[in-house]
């Protein structure tokens, strides 16, 4: 990173900068760690090679996956992104913005197109994306709304697909309902007609009710897990309930999909509970499964259609400037977020 000039590490005002067309400002990190590893630097602007589109970022979405990559936790993520240090020094996955150039062989995109998608390194003024992971963004959807959608929206959609058929009156519980994934799960489940119970912190109950949840439990009270609940479906996004606890609140033929939960301290995979669930499930009448979401263009296209039709919303809690990436990350990790956080240049 010798060629990168430090601009500043924090602050809310736009930075005066005279970079030419071959450079851009980007959030960067050279080592794994907490939010203090993030710096705001000037670096080379990428060039679009074959199959790639170069996008001027209008907004970039922040999600827990980006935190995991920054922290290098659980350790297994380093196998994919660099054992000693991150191979790609620019964090961020989700983006929305305007195409500025396309590489050879790209069809369906041209300079000036409004797009959204996923690509490594979205916390920058420009991001290079694989054209297969980008979709057109209709007028009327803001950069912020669009940038908050790809990872959390697709994870929510795939969790519900994995849970199987949802219909009118399906009794469902969503843990971690106030977060990025949860806020989309609740909205999508309501579109299917499910009866949604949701769990979150006490001060976020109004927010979760506003997503459409029929019953909202304060997670401190343990209400969602007490009594004789018998949910047809549990989408388990946070809180780490044990397998026994999940089984106790499921109907005899209920289905639980474990999406995640933060495991305190270093861990190898962070997925022990998920793996135990998958191992015991074949011996049960109940179904326990885990989700590993993948970016599929058709999922994103479907989500954008729902958003365009006014049926789905990214609920943006707070918008930070790129130069405030540390503060944004701290805000996410503190568990303060209702819905999503986005960064804008
Ligand atoms: N399987 C996959 O493919 C996949 C994909 C994306 C994300 N994930 C995982 O899914 C989880 C949620 O992601 P996200 O992006 O929605 O995160 P997020 O936006 O940070 O939301 C998570 C929510 O969980 C709640 N929470 C935090 N600590 C908790 C605890 N100890 N007990 C109960 N609830 C707690 C918080 O809300 P309250 O304060 O309201 O409780 C928080 O807002 C993460 O672990 C992430 O790594 C998995």
Per-residue pLDDT of the chain in tens (345 residues, 90 and over written 9)? 445 665 544 433 333 333 346 999 999 999 999 999 999 999 999 999 999 999 999 999 999 999 999 999 989 899 989 999 999 999 999 999 999 999 999 999 999 999 999 999 999 999 999 999 999 999 999 999 999 999 999 999 999 999 998 888 899 999 999 999 999 999 999 999 999 999 999 999 999 999 999 999 999 988 788 777 899 999 999 999 999 999 999 999 999 999 988 777 777 877 888 899 999 999 999 999 999 999 999 999 999 999 999 999 999 999 999 999 999 999 999 998 999 999 999
The residue ranges of every structural domain in the chain are: 5-149+314-344, 152-290
Ligand 1 pocket by Cβ (under 6 Å): 63-65, 152, 155, 176, 178-182, 200-201, 204, 219, 237-239, 259-262, 291-293, 332, 335, 337
Alpha helices (H) in the chain, listed in sequence order = 64-71, 77-81, 143-147, 150-163, 180-191, 205-210, 243-249, 272-280, 297-308, 325-333
Phi then psi for 131, rounded to 5 degrees?
-60, -25
Strand partners, 5: 42
For residue 9, the model assigns a pLDDT of 41
List, in order, residues 6 or more apart from 266 with CB less than 8 Å away. Answer: 73, 74, 75
Q: For ligand 1, pick from 158, 184, 238, 294 the residue to mutate: most ligand atoms within 8 Å of CB.
A: 238
Residues 6 or more apart from 319 whose CB is under 8 A from it? 59, 144, 341, 342, 343, 344
Ligand 1 center to residue 210 CA distance, Å?
Answer: 19
The number of the ligand 1 atom at minimal distance from the alpha carbon of 340 is 19
Atom 31 in ligand 1: which residue has the minimum CA distance? 239
Instruction: Specify the residue for token string 């993520």.
Output: 77
Torsion, CA 41, CA 42, CA 44, CA 45, rounded to 10: 100
Instruction: Please report the pLDDT score of residue 327 as a whole number.
Output: 98
Return the residue whose CA atom lies nearest to atom 39 of ligand 1.
201
Q: Which residues contact 256 (CB under 8 A, 6 or more apart)?
A: 233, 234, 235, 236, 246, 247, 250, 277, 286, 287, 288, 289
Measured in Å, residue 260 CA sits from the centre of ligand 1 at 7
Full-model pTM? 0.93
Q: What is the number of the ligand 1 atom nearest to the C-alpha of 183?
A: 16
**What's the gap in Å between 336 CA and the centre of ligand 1?**
11
* For the CA of 178, the nearest atom of ligand 1: 40
* d(C-alpha 235, C-alpha 237), whole Å: 6
Place domain 5-149+314-344 in its CATH homologous superfamily. Answer: Medium-chain alcohol dehydrogenases, catalytic domain (3.90.180.10)
Question: According to the model, what pLDDT value does residue 5 have?
Answer: 60
Cα(127)–Cα(117) distance, rounded to whole angstroms? Answer: 10
Say if domain 152-290 classifies as CATH 3.90.1530.10.
Answer: no
Ligand 1 center to residue 312 CA distance, Å?
A: 20
Residue 151's pLDDT is 98
332 CA to centre of ligand 1 in angstroms: 10
Q: Ligand 1 centre from 308 Cα, in Å?
A: 26
CB 39 within 8 A of CB 71: no
Closest by Cα among 162, 96, 40, 68 to 314: 96
Which pLDDT score, from 0 to 100, does residue 257 have?
98
Atom number of ligand 1 nearest to Cα 155:
5
Largest CA distance in the chain: 64
């Amino acid at each position: 990173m010798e060629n990168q000039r430090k601009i500043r590490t924090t602050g809310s005002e736009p930075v005066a900068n005279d970079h030419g067309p071959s450079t851009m400002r980007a959030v960067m990190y050279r080592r794994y760690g907490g939010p203090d590893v993030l710096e705001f630097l000037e670096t080379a602007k990428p060039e679009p090679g074959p199959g790639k589109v170069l996008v001027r970022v209008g907004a970039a979405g922040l999600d827990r996956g980006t935190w995991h990559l920054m922290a290098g936790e659980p350790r297994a993520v380093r196998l994919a992104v660099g054992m000693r240090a991150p191979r790609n020094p620019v964090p961020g996955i989700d983006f929305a913005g305007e195409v500025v150039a396309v590489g050879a062989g790209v069809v369906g995109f041209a300079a000036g197109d409004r797009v959204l998608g996923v690509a490594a390194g979205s916390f920058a003024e420009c991001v290079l994306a694989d054209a297969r992971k980008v979709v057109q963004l209709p007028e009327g959807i803001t950069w912020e709304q669009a940038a908050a959608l790809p990872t959390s929206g697709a994870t929510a959609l795939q969790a519900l697909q994995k849970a199987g058929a949802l219909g009118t009156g399906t009794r469902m519980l969503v843990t971690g309902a106030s977060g990025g994934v949860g806020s989309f799960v609740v909205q999508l489940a309501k579109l299917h007609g499910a009866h949604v119970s949701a769990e979150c912190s006490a001060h976020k109950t109004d927010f979760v009710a506003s997503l459409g949840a029929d019953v909202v439990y304060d997670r401190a009270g343990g209400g969602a897990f007490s009594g004789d609940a018998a949910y047809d479906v549990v989408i388990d996004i946070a809180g780490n309930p044990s397998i026994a606890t999940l089984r106790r609140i499921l109907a005899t033929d209920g289905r639980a999909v474990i999406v995640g939960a933060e495991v305190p301290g270093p861990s190898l995979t962070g997925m022990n509970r998920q793996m135990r669930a998958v191992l015991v499930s074949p011996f049960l009448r109940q179904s326990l499964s885990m989700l590993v979401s993948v970016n599929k263009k058709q999922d994103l296209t479907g989500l954008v259609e729902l958003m365009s039709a006014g049926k789905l919303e990214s609920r943006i809690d707070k918008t930070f400037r790129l130069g405030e990436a540390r503060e944004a990350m701290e805000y996410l990790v503190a568990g303060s977020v209702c819905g999503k956080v986005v960064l804008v240049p």
